Amino acid sequence: MAKNQTGETVQVDESLESALESVDAAEASVLGVAEAVGFPEDELHRIGMAVREAMVNAVVHGNRYSARKKVRLKVLQAPDHIVISVADEGEGFEMHTVPDPLSEENILRHSGRGLLLIQAFMDEVSVAKTEGAGTEIKMVKRLAPAG
Amino acid sequence: MSVKLTTRQVGDVTVIDASGRITLGEGASHFRDTIRELAAKGNKKLLLNLGDVSYIDSSGIGEMVSSFTTVTNGGGSLKLLGLNKRVKDLLQITKLYTVFEAFDDEAAALRSFA
């Protein structure tokens, strides 16, 4: 498979339905690649959780379960890291409009912690509006150096 | 597997033993309904045993927080028991360890309601 300039190869590039079943499917796809990279069990758990949160954001808040909208999942593999991209076709959002879930006035809110968990579990996280409409969450996780 | 919840009464404390996954969908809604039902029946002292819970996502955390608010607003208290490392990590990341009173030992948890 062709490598890009950072030595990454595309392992997964799929279009998923805006349904909760897609959350499980995406987690399974990503973990298959993450296991091949060699992440230990605890890190696999964190990667899986970050993917689930990103997928829930895309399916529930982005595409609002619309049958006409898809979620695009891309996974790039490199020897020492994995790059995961989850893009929806929703209306998009600005990061600065997301309430801080750690502030005193928001700590007891029912929702709004997904992005916080993604940022805690992954090494790099970026959120961008996609071309046209929608939001892409891109996440990078690096393998800890041996020893 | 979704979440499985069983309740038992120890004195005036209702212990809810949870196992499985508390995640968006069936797991989180079953969890919410069970706690609300217990609160509506007048149970004021609730101890949620998460010892056999393998996975909680942000929706599950949201339901735990909502349950806490429901029970507290009704004059009761909801405390946690048997958190594994992953759940403890979640409470640290979300700062909810400042909200929930949590115990490793059931006897100590039960005594705390006295």
Distance from the B59 Cα atom to the nearest Cα atom in chain A, whole angstroms = 7
Name the one residue in this structure whose structure tokens are 């970026």.
A126
For the segment B20-32, the average pLDDT, to the nearest whole number, is 87
Show pLDDT as tens, one digit a residue, over chain A (147 residues).
667 777 899 999 999 999 999 999 999 999 999 999 999 999 999 999 999 999 999 999 999 999 999 999 999 999 999 999 999 999 887 777 888 999 999 999 988 999 999 999 999 999 998 877 899 999 999 998 876
Distance from the A25 Cα atom to the nearest Cα atom in chain B, whole angstroms = 15
**CA pair distance B107, B103, nearest whole angstrom:** 9
pTM reported for the whole predicted model: 0.91
| CATH code for position B58 | 3.30.750.24
Tell whether A45 is within 8 A of chain B (Cβ): yes
Residue B112 located in a structural domain: no
Name the one residue in this structure whose structure tokens are 């994995």.
A82
- Tokens standing for B60? 């599950």
For the segment B39-56, the average pLDDT, to the nearest whole number, is 94
Chain A residue closest to B63 (CA)?
A110
Letter string b/e over residues A6-22, b meaning 16 or more CB atoms within 10 A of that residue's CB: eebeebbeeebbbebeb
A107–B95 CB contact, under 8 Å: yes
Q: A9-142, which class in CATH?
A: alpha beta
Number of domains in chain B: 1
Q: Output the pLDDT for position A15.
A: 97
Residues contacting residue A52 through CB under 8 Å, at least 6 positions apart? A23, A26, A27, B23, B57
Structural domain including B54 reads 4-105
Chain B residue closest to A111 (CA)?
B62
Burial of A147 (0-12, 13-18, 19+ CB in 10 A): exposed
Q: What is the DSSP letter of B97?
A: G
pLDDT tens per residue across span B68-107: 999 999 999 999 999 999 999 999 999 999 999 999 999 9
Cβ neighbours of A100 in B, within 8 Å = none
Burial of B112 (0-12, 13-18, 19+ CB in 10 A): middle
Bridge partners, residue B18, by sequence: B5
Q: What angle do CA A120, A123, A125 make, to 5 degrees?
A: 80
Q: What angle do CA B86, B90, B96 make, to 5 degrees?
A: 140
Distance from the B8 Cα atom to the nearest Cα atom in chain A, whole angstroms = 27
Which residues of chain B approach chain A closer than 8 Å at the C-beta? Answer: 23-25, 55, 57-59, 61-63, 65-66, 68-69, 86, 90, 93-96, 98-99
Tell whether A43 is within 8 A of chain B (Cβ): no
Ordered by start, the domain boundaries in chain A are 9-142
SS3 B95: coil
Q: Output the pLDDT for position B29.
A: 86
Residue B114 located in a structural domain: no
Q: Output the pLDDT for position A1.
A: 61
Cβ neighbours of B61 in A, within 8 Å = 113
- CA–CA distance from A134 to each of A87, A93, A114, A131 (Å)? 7, 8, 17, 8
Name the one residue in this structure whose structure tokens are 């091949």.
A36
Average pLDDT over chain B, rounded to an integer: 93
Pairing of strands B4-10, A9-17: unpaired
Name the one residue in this structure whose structure tokens are 């996280």.
A125
